[in-house]
Amino acid sequence: MECVINGLKINYMIMGEGKPLLILHGWGSKKERWRTVAKLLSGRGFQVIVPDLPGFGESDNPDGVWGFDDYANLVDSFISSLDIRHFRLLGHSFGGNVAIKYSLKHPDKVSKLFLVGAACIRRETVKKKGIYGISKTFKFLSFVPYLKKAFYRIIKSDYSHSRGIMKEVYLNIIKKDLTDILGNVNVPTLIIWGEKDDITPLKNAHTIKINIKNSQLEIIPRIGHNLHSECPGFLADIIAKQ
What is the dihedral sign for C-alpha 239, 235, 185, 94? negative
- Fold category of 2-122+178-240 in CATH: Rossmann fold (3.40.50)
Show pLDDT as tens, one digit a residue, over the chain (242 residues): 999 999 999 999 999 999 999 999 999 999 999 999 999 999 999 999 999 999 999 999 999 999 999 999 999 999 999 999 999 999 999 999 999 999 999 999 999 999 999 999 987 544 444 444 544 444 544 445 544 444 444 334 556 667 799 999 999 999 899 999 999 999 999 999 999 999 999 999 999 999 999 999 999 999 999 999 999 999 999 999 98
Cα 36 to Cα 34: distance, rounded to the nearest angstrom: 6
Mind listing the pLDDT tens digit for each residue in 198-242?
999 999 999 999 999 999 999 999 999 999 999 999 999 999 998
Residue ranges with strand state E in 55-208: 87-92, 110-116, 189-194
pLDDT confidence of residue 114: 98
Tens of pLDDT along 181-192?
Answer: 999 999 999 999
CA distances from 9 to 2, 60, 74, 152, 192 (A): 7, 5, 11, 30, 31
- Delimit the domains of the chain by residue range: 2-122+178-240, 123-175
